[in-house]
Amino acid sequence: MVRLNKIYTRTGDKGETTLGNGERRSKADLRVETYGTVDELNAVIGLARLHAEEALDAMLARIQNELFDLGAELATPDTGKPLEFEPLKVVDSQVERLEAEIDQMNERLSPLKSFVLPAGSPAASHLHHARTVARRAERLMIALATKEGESVADTAIRYVNRLSDHLFVGARIANDEGRADVLWVPGGSR
């Protein structure tokens, strides 16, 4: 259980933060940047929820909780040393649930004949923004996973990859099931 009695601690005033395993790192460290981007993604999804219809909002609420789990996983690097607690990990069933929801939502959509611009309804626009932040988080996770001495679980990377697809399809749902999508017109402004 998380308990926050005091919001500021002054322990980060010199540019360092504490990871979940107690290790101190620079706030500019790639691992900190990675879980910070997951936190940013969560905040953008919160904005989308302000405009989402009930079924989509319920999915996004669950995803926000899962992103906190992912952030905790990223903030607790696997050093091979035992911890005093069981660290949170994204699991295969969470990836599978995203896939099932993508398939379910996609059944309601007509196939695309052009790329979709990140626009339309407020919910769709925020979901497109969230999708781009998810892609950035994924790139950072891959960079972290390939950095010597660091690791990121394959399941966590698959989760964020699938999440960006989920957010794209959710944006189309929020755009009147794709009928209000704003389509790219190649060379249309020449």
Question: Which range marks the domain in which residue 108 is found?
Answer: 25-78+90-181
Mean pLDDT by 10 residues, the chain (190 residues): 74 87 90 98 98 98 98 92 89 98 97 95 98 98 97 98 98 97 92
Give residue 2's pLDDT: 64
pTM of the model: 0.93
Q: Is residue 118 part of a domain?
A: yes
Q: What is the pLDDT of residues 33-89, one digit of tens each?
A: 999 999 999 999 999 999 999 999 999 999 999 999 999 999 999 888 888 888 899
Structural domain contains residue 189 = no
Q: Kindly state whether residue 5 falls inside one of the protein's structural domains.
A: no
Please report the pLDDT score of residue 37 as a whole number: 98
Asked, for residue 4, whether it belongs to a domain, the answer is: no
| Residue 19 placed within a domain | no
pLDDT computed for residue 13 by the predictor = 86
**What is the pLDDT at residue 10?**
85
Identify whether 123 is part of a domain. Answer: yes
Supply the pLDDT for residue 1. 57
Q: What is the CATH number of the domain that holds 32?
A: 1.20.1200.10
How many structural domains compose the chain?
A: 1
Q: What is the 3-state secondary structure of the chain?
A: CCCCCCCCCCCCCCCEEECCCCCEEECCCHHHHHHHHHHHHHHHHHHHHCCCCHHHHHHHHHHHHHHHHHHHHHCCCCCCCCCCCCCCCCCHHHHHHHHHHHHHHHCCCCCCCCCEECCCCHHHHHHHHHHHHHHHHHHHHHHHHCCCCCCCCHHHHHHHHHHHHHHHHHHHHHCCCCCCCEECCCCCCC
